[in-house]
Amino acid sequence: MAHQSSFRIESVLKALQINSKNQGTSTGNIWFETAETIDSVSPVDGKIIASVTMTNEKNYEKVVATASEAFKLWRTKPAPFRGEIVRQFGEKLRENKDNLGKLVSYEMGKSLQEGWGEVQEMIDICDFAVGLSRQLHGLTMHSERPNHRMYEQYHPLGIVGIISAFNFPVAVWSWNTALAWICGDVCIWKPSEKTPLCGIACQKLIAEVLAENQLPEGISCLVTGDYRIGELLTKDTRIPLISATGSTAMGKKVAQNVAVRLGKSLLELGGNNAIIVTPDADIKMTVVGSVFGAVGTCGQRCTSTRRLIIHESIYGQVVDALVKAYRQLRIGNPLDTNNHVGPLIDKQAVAQYQNALQKVAAEGGKLLVPGGVLEGEGYESGCYVKPAIAEANPDYEIVQKETFAPILYLLKYTGSLQNAIDIQNRVVQGLSSSIMTNNLREAELFLSQTGSDCGIANVNIGTSGAEIGGAFGGEKETGGGRESGSDAWKVYMRRQTNTINYSTELPLAQGIKFEL
């Protein structure tokens, strides 16, 4: 029996206060309407969920002005007070986890379990931020001058602009905004135009918290639309930090716009992630990690496994196990918890998937598990595809690129582990990486300075997924940004060095003499 039978999008929207036609520009509980709209279309069944009004320049100016005013008050609140507001938001998320997770699944197309999991990530980052609100710290240094004290402290930046992608329509926003809020910043969020309703739902939840605490409009703002709204944010000198998640091509444009005005950017861009499988690997663990990494979210994670680099001595054994596992995959409605794989986000993504399969074949690759677009009952949206496995060469052009789809490239290596590491590092992206081995020396080499060049390097787990406590991000064309845990909070603040002279003299640094 299908497990999605109790799902009705109308009841989900009602519970989240979303109407069939919703405003898309907000400064808290105040919403602005415009004539131009965009439709949110579900890849699950191809139906229009709701229409959303697009932000125009006039309303954008209202948003920025309101956010600027809110910042003046918000920055004066003690960090533990700001943490309490984030705690209350986390409670709202707990109360609405079921419905928000269902909306994520239906609007984006990921499995229901992943939808609920994404909301749980939001709850987790709220918990993390609450604790962090009592730990924001600086350093104290010894001065070279007698009777002087030096220290550094961190102050709020101001407005943080957040541009998020469709594949994690709520979690990545929360990674940024929960930390930005406890740091004393206010936020303007532009969700993906492919998943605007998730943004509206989150904005309504935080607006309730702000109203209940009699806090000003503008601490959390929402703008909706296409790249034009993103350009307004990136070129706006009133916004000191832009955090952008998306493709490398998009990130380069964001970086250029922000750099021209000497602003700050936090970039989380493309990934071309690999798992190295050595002769000492646990094959069962390798298959579980590889299959979920490759097909989870239908291959639409920035941390999805794209490449499997396998030692020649176990290559056949791993291939057989993978092909057997792929035969067991169930593809269909993601709200049916029996299914493993849902749809791609839209038909444009399907076309890119098909082009990638054609390209690998043209370059000489061999499809071990053929792909294809599914048709017929249950697949009417045209967005359901079969996960594919292809034998390939590391230097194929298509292997060097990130294809946001469930295509796994198998690459064979010979000789030492360093040869496999060199293959892994031979791409321009540097987000996530893994090694499967029970050999301690191999694991340590992989994590050493001559090992993986990625921002994330794992041993005996896959490439996808991230824990809140660790900083998330990558190197090279992944952008170099870090979000979520560890000391990622520092990017949302400005550092200030302070020197205090408590003597009756004014000695100069480096022993310089200046007599009057």
Catalytic-role residue among 183, 302, 383, 454: 302
Residues contacting residue 114 through CB under 8 Å, at least 6 positions apart: 104, 105, 296, 297, 334
> CA 131 to CA 82: how far, in whole Å?
11
268 is catalytic: yes
Dmax over CA atoms of the chain, in Å, equals: 91
* Half-sphere exposure (Cβ direction) of 319: Cα atoms closer than 13 Å: 20
* CB neighbours of residue 152 within 10 Å: 13
Contact between 335 and 42 under an 8 Å Cβ cutoff? The reply is no
454 is catalytic: no
Q: Do the bridges between strand 148-156 and strand 140-142 make them parallel or antiparallel, or are there none, so unpaired? A: antiparallel
Which token pair is 422?
Answer: 């060199």
Distance of CA 201 to the CA centre of its chain: 18
Contact between 33 and 2 under an 8 Å Cβ cutoff? The reply is no
Radius of gyration of the chain (CA): 25
Q: Do the bridges between strand 264-268 and strand 241-245 make them parallel or antiparallel, or are there none, so unpaired? A: parallel
Contact between 224 and 232 under an 8 Å Cβ cutoff? The reply is no
Q: Do the bridges between strand 186-190 and strand 220-222 make them parallel or antiparallel, or are there none, so unpaired? A: parallel
> CA 436 to CA 357: how far, in whole Å?
27
Smallest CA-to-CA distance from 157 within 488, 493, 490, 489 is with 493
Catalytic-role residue among 121, 268, 442, 483: 268
Q: Do the bridges between strand 159-163 and strand 186-190 make them parallel or antiparallel, or are there none, so unpaired? A: parallel
Which token pair is 111?
Answer: 């499995």
CA dist 266 to 130, 238, 483, 492, Å? 22, 16, 8, 9
Smallest CA-to-CA distance from 85 within 253, 219, 202 is with 219
Residues noted as catalytic: 268, 302
